[in-house]
Structure 1
C-alpha cells in the first residue's frame, strides 16, 4: 500500500498547488532580472558605486517593513487581494525605473519593491503552507526552493540576451509581475485561514543563541556585498553587460548548490564546525583573489565566495532551533529573518561604497573582514560553550532577493519533530 510520501501523493500535492508555484516562479524571474539590471543600468547611466549601493539598499530596507506589515495585510484583506495589491505596486515600480533616470526616484522605487516582494513571498508561502500536509512539507519546500533559485538565475541571465534593450527588459519585469496574479485568480480552491505568527524579540533570541543572530547578520552583510558589488566589479574590469550579469547568475546558482553539502555536514557532524569550514573557505578564496588580480577565473572565484556565505544563514537557523523549545521555533523564525535583512541592508550599501573609496582591492579586504569575523566569533563560541544537542535538520532557505521561508522552514522542522515523536511513541 502506498504511503503518504509516495510519488503519487507528491505529484498530487504539486498539481493541486500549480498556481502558487507558477506565481512564485514568475516573481523570481522578475526579481532576479530587475535586481541585477538596476545595478548594471545604474552604472551605465553614470551612477557611482556608492549611489548604486544606496539605491539597492532600499530593497532590504523595504523588506524590514514588508515582512512585518504583510502578515497583517493577509489577515485583514485575504491572500488574493493582498497579493494583487502588492503585485500591482511592484509592477508600477518597474515601469517607473524605465521612465526616469533619477537616483532618488530609483531608490524610492527600490524601497517599494523591497516592501512588496517579501510581502508577496509571505502570501505565497503561507498559502502553500496551509495547503500542504505535514508529511509533504519538506518535499514541497525543496521544489519551492528550486523555483526560487532557478527563477532568479534565469531572470538574471536574460540581461545577456543579444539585442535585449533596457525598455524590453524593464517591460519584461512588469509583465511577469502582472502575470503572476493570474494563476492565483484562476485557482479553484479557497485560500486557507491565516493568523499573524508570533515574533520573538531579537534580544531574546540573542540571549538564547548569540552565534545564530550574529552569524545571520554577518551572512546577510556578506551576501549583500557580494550580490550588489559582483556585477560592479566585473564592469570595472571592462566586462560587457552580459558578462557582468553572468557573475550574478554564478552567485545565485553556487549559493543554491552549496546549501546541500553544507546542510549534510552540519547535520552529520556539528553546526559550528560547518560555519567554521564555510568561513575558512571564504577567507582562502578572498586571499587568493587579492593575490590574483584581473579576470582570471573571476566568475568562479565569486561563485565559491557565494557558496561559502549563502548556506551560513541556513546553518545558523538550525543552530538556533537546536536551543529552542518547539513552541518557540516559529516565533524565532521572524527574528532570524529580521537579522538577515539587517545584515543585507548594511552589506548592500557598504560593499559598493567601499569599492568606490578603495577600489576592487578594498572590496576584497571588506569581504575578508566579514568572513574572518564569522570564523573568529564561531571559534570563540565553540571554545566557550559545548554544542547543543541537534534537534532537527538544516532546511535550505533563500539568499538576497529571495524568500527566506523563515516561518515555513520553522514549521517544517516542527512538523518533522512531531512525526519523529509519533514514530517513537508507536514503537
Structure 2
C-alpha cells in the first residue's frame, strides 16, 4: 500500500523549509504515521541536533527524520535522512513501510545522504558521520584555502618505443603453450578416465539393481504361483468332496428308489397272489357247495321218478374183511380170555367208530362259508379225499 503524503503535506514542507534555511535555528524534523494507517504526519522539530532527535525516536515505530549537519571533512552543510525502523516494530509493518521511503525522499528535495537506523547507537553522531564520510570520497576544506601558487615545471616523459620481438621470448612462449597443451591433454585423459569409471560404476549399480529386481520379481512370481496352486488344490479338493457328496447322495437316493420299487413290487405280488388265492378258494368252495346242494335235490328227483336211483347215487360200499368171532369161553379156558375179549371189543369199537365217522362227515357236509380261509394246497385237494 502506498503512503499518503497529501493530507499533511503543507505542514511537513513548512517544517522542512525551516531545516533548509541556514538562518533558522531548527536543524531537524521528525515524521511518522497516524496510528496504523499509511498517512504521513509531522511528529516534531527541534534545534538540538542528533542528541535531541534520538530522544524522540520510538523503538516500536517506523519514522523518518531529516537533520542538518556540517561535514567535518568538507565543512559543508549536509541534509541527512534517517530511515528509522525500530527493533520492536511489527514485521508486517516493516514490510509495508519499506516501500514508502522512495515517496518520502521524493517529497523532501535536497536530501544528500540516507542512513538506515534500527537502534539508538546507529542514530548517534559517530555512526551518522561515518556514513556521511562514506558517501563523499573527497576530503577538502573550503575555509582554509591557500593564496600562494606553486611553480609549474615543464612536464617530461619517459616514453620508449616498444619492440615486440625483444619483449617476448619465443622459446618461453612455445614452452608455455606446450605446457598448456600437455596439461589440456592430461586433463582430457583424466576426464575420460573419470567418465569411464563413473560409467563402470553406474553399470555395476544398474546390474546390481536389475539382479535385485529380478530376484524380487522371481520371488513374487513364485509366491503367486504357489498361492494359485494352493487355491487350485483347495478348489479341486472342494469339487472332489462335492462330487463325492453328490454321488453318495445319488447312491442313497438310488438305493432308496430301488428299495421303494422292490417294496412296491413285493406289495403288488402279495396283493396279486392274495387275489389269486382268494379267487381259487372262492371258486372251489362255490363248486363244492353247489355240488353238495344240488345232490339232495337230484336224489329227491330220482326218488320220485325211480326208487332205485338212490342206490346208484350212493358211493359204493366198502368191502369189510371177514370177521370171525372168537368164543370167549374157549379163550378163557386157554388163559387168553381176557386178551381176546379186549381185542374183540376193540375191533367192534373201531368198526362202530368208522361207521360213525362216515355218518358225521355226511352230516357236516357241505362245509361252512369260512372255508375260503384255507390255504391253496388244501383247496387243491379233491373233495373225495375228505371221505377217505
TM-score (norm 1): 0.17
With a CA cutoff of 8 Å and minimum separation of 6, indicate the structure with the bigger relative contact order: 1
* Higher radius of gyration, 1 or 2: 2
More strand by share: 2
- Bigger proportion of residues as helix: 1
